[in-house]
Amino acid sequence: MSAFIEQLPKVELHLHIEGSLEPELVFALARRNGITLDYPDESALRAAYDFDDLQSFLNIYYAGMSVLQTEQDFFDMAHAYLARAHGENVRHVEIFFDPQAHTDRGVPFSVVITGLHRALEQARHDWGMSSRLILSFLRHLPEASAIDTLRQAEPFRHWLAGVGLDSAEQGNPPEKFVRAYALAREQGYRLVAHAGEEGPPQYIRDALELLRVERIDHGVAAIEDPALMDELAAARIPLTVCPLSNLKLKVVDSMADHPMAKLLQAGLCVTVNSDDPAYFGGYMNANFLALQQGLGMTDRELLQLALNGVEASWLSPEEKTLLM
Ligand code: HPA
Ligand code: ZN
């Protein structure tokens, strides 16, 4: 591991907390909750982490998180991620969670968010790590379910910074969620959406124009559309890019083909993130390392990516100054 990468102060803006669930914790929580898994042990589960595309990952991702039942389970999951991030000199995190994946199994929204919030507060107290929580809608479900989730979130509005959109992108375009995003905007949420991961550049345009998001999660499909790249660069619309995720889900054939360097050189506000680190082979440092070793990005470029992360974050100007 490069000392430069290890010592670089980092922020993470694209992290699904359910995607930080390591096989060891999946099995520990399954034992605690009396749940039998389809895999005999941790190594058999880990061996199944061989994905062809986003959907093949999502199937295992939703199966893995089914062990989460109690507030303590959500706390333990978030605490494990935050400790890991702190150990990699990650100073600030903006974390997605997928409430519908839990409420649809009968776990109350309050149980999910209370456990997550407690872990974030402890990390702030123990390590000075700042954080924001982003409620993410599952785009394979109907818009009515997203709107109902927004209603369930109302008592916890003060713990939530924004809303996002994740899960199966193809066939679930931004336009499906125009009303849900309009309601979230009325309630003062900040807005982001996954777009241009497996979907076309048009989904990036639609997320910006129809959903009025301020940041795009992934967005690597922009590389196919030079006019869009120019617009994203001019407006400094951040892209929260996830290099190892793109490799594992075969969005790119190899790290050498990853568009990160070209997007950065074209002046876009691209940032480095781990997405679902338990599933994609690494946390923040591993993602920076992949860009250095697989794509030949220089320390100066890696520094610019880290600075972009601070710029793209939802920290206040004062907090940003303290980080830079
Ligand atoms: N893409 C879409 N949905 C997701 C992802 C992702 O990379 N990770 C968790 N949910
Ligand atoms: Zn994601």
Domain boundaries, the chain: 3-323
Residue 73: what pLDDT?
98
- With a cut of 80, say whether residue 298 has pLDDT above it: yes
CB 56 within 8 A of CB 5: no
CA distances from 236 to 59, 199, 202, 266, 270 (A): 34, 21, 18, 11, 9
Please say if 197 is a catalytic residue.
Answer: yes
Residue of minimum CA distance from atom 10 in ligand 1: 167
Distance of CA 101 from the midpoint of ligand 1 (Å) = 13
Distance CA 206, CA 123 (A): 36
pLDDT tens profile 189-212: 999 999 999 999 999 999 999 999
Q: What is the DSSP letter of 275?
A: B
Bridge-based pairing of strands 10-16 and 270-272 is: unpaired
Residue of minimum CA distance from atom 4 in ligand 1: 167
- With a cut of 80, say whether residue 324 has pLDDT above it: no
Residue 322: what pLDDT?
87
The residue to mutate among 57, 102, 198, having the most atoms of ligand 1 within 8 angstroms of its beta carbon, is: 57
| Structural element, H or E, at residue 190 | strand 190-195
CATH (one of 3.30.565.10, 3.20.20.140, 2.40.50.140, 1.10.490.10) for 3-323: 3.20.20.140
Residue 291: what pLDDT?
98
In this prediction, residues 168-188 reach a mean pLDDT of 98
In this prediction, residues 169-180 reach a mean pLDDT of 98
The pLDDT > 90 percentage for the chain reads 99
Residue of minimum CA distance from atom 3 in ligand 1: 167
Residue 274, SS3?
coil
Ligand 1 and 275: CB distance under 6 A: yes
Distance CA 102, CA 249 (A): 24
Spatial strand order of the sheet with 270-272 comes to: 10-16, 90-97, 130-138, 162-166, 190-195, 215-218, 239-241, 270-272
In this prediction, residues 34-63 reach a mean pLDDT of 95
| Structural element, H or E, at residue 13 | strand 10-16
Q: CB under 8 Å to 314, separation ≥6 — which residues?
A: 94, 132, 161, 162, 190
- Among residues 18, 88, 94, 197, the one annotated as catalytic is 197
In this prediction, residues 245-263 reach a mean pLDDT of 98
In this prediction the ipTM stands at 0.96
Residue 83: what pLDDT?
98
- With a cut of 90, say whether residue 323 has pLDDT above it: no
The sign of the torsion formed by the CA atoms of 94, 279, 248, 6 equals positive
